[in-house]
Amino acid sequence: MDKTILKTAIGLIFLALLVAIPRYVESPYALHMMILLFMSVVQGQSWNILGGYAGQHSVGHAAYFGVGAYTTMMLMHTKQIAPWYGVWAGMVLVVIVALAIGSICFRLRGPYFVLASIAVAEILRLSAINLTTLTNGAEGILATELPAFKIGGTIVTDFVTKVPFYYIGLFLVLLTLGITYWIQHSKLGYYFQAIREDQDAAHSLGIHIALYKNIGLVISAVLTSLAGSFYGIYVGFVDPATVLGLDVSVQIMLICIIGGMGTLWGPILGSLVLVPLSEALRSNMITEALVKVGMVNADSKIGIFLKENLSHAHVLLYGILVVLVILFMPDGLMGFLKKMAMRRKQEAV
């Protein structure tokens, strides 16, 4: 009992810190990093519900991310509908898309489901490129002017700084964590895991396989679409490659594979690894650090090569990371930590 009180206390202190950060940290870059982190946690946790708990490894979650982002942005751009209404439209649309995909793809198992999920996301990406009247094609939609958010005439926020986005992100993180926690401690979670472990056995125990897979997909897709809408209004720009591309799907999945699938904290750990890594690569921080330490001469051939190429190498590094994780930590960081804790316990005995 003391342990749970301690855990809650630590959680609350941590939450208070997160809430307080924007009051004391003014650097927009630091806030930007936190927002990216939040977005990544939401994406990962949404995927985790379907992929980690129910064992349906979708490599097409960009579909839901993209539909959410596009719907909100299109409504704001063409109809001037504020994003906090557009988000709902995005969610409704995503439920329809998810049920359509689910009713077709869940007839397939294992690798065939994975392939089908990739295909569906690619269909949506190509549609977004080619339906130019609707989506503005490959050019994408730019809509950076957000209307002020008012409640009863008083302006709550005008979205000029990054602070409101920070709190929206934090709220979405808490929402997805809460939903995952609830699933884990309900019949739904048991049934998801039973389906993951052995579909035929689950079926014989009275579990309606198609129904529960679709429930998992809808929850996962709606949360992913929320992340997509958030991405759209935060960045102010969507195009087919950045919200519907295959690498979006892969990155969402990587968060869980690296952090630990089917665990509450896995996606958070995964995001803590992946977000700083991709940011360091993108901003060429690693090359600069190597030069500073003196390991690489900035003007040597290697230095120039790194400077030119390392910022595009994130996909390569993700690949290497996945290989390492699968070889040495098949249950992700979470599984690895649990194993270490168990070993320590056994050694203590």
Q: Which residues bind another protein (CB under 8 A)?
A: 185-187, 190-191, 193-194, 197-198, 200-209, 262
As measured in angstroms, the least distance from the Cβ of 224 to another protein is 25
Report the residue number, 32 or 203, with the smaller CB distance to another protein.
203
As measured in angstroms, the least distance from the Cβ of 200 to another protein is 7
As measured in angstroms, the least distance from the Cβ of 259 to another protein is 17
CA 16 – CA 316 distance, rounded (Å) = 37
- Write b or e for each residue in 164-201: b if 16 or more Cβ atoms lie within 10 A of its Cβ, otherwise e: bbbbbbbebbeebbebbeebbeeebbebbbbbbeebee
As measured in angstroms, the least distance from the Cβ of 201 to another protein is 4
Residue 116 and residue 108 in contact, taking contact as beta carbons nearer than 8 Å = yes
Beta bridge partners of 328: none
What are φ and ψ of residue 141, in 5° steps?
Answer: -115, 130
Q: Provide the CA 137 distance to its chain's centre, in angstroms.
A: 24
What are φ and ψ of residue 150, in 5° steps?
Answer: -115, 145
As measured in angstroms, the least distance from the Cβ of 193 to another protein is 6
Report the residue number, 200 or 299, with the smaller CB distance to another protein.
200
CA 264 – CA 3 distance, rounded (Å) = 18
What are φ and ψ of residue 157, in 5° steps?
Answer: -155, 150
Q: Provide the CA 333 distance to its chain's centre, in angstroms.
A: 17
As measured in angstroms, the least distance from the Cβ of 204 to another protein is 5
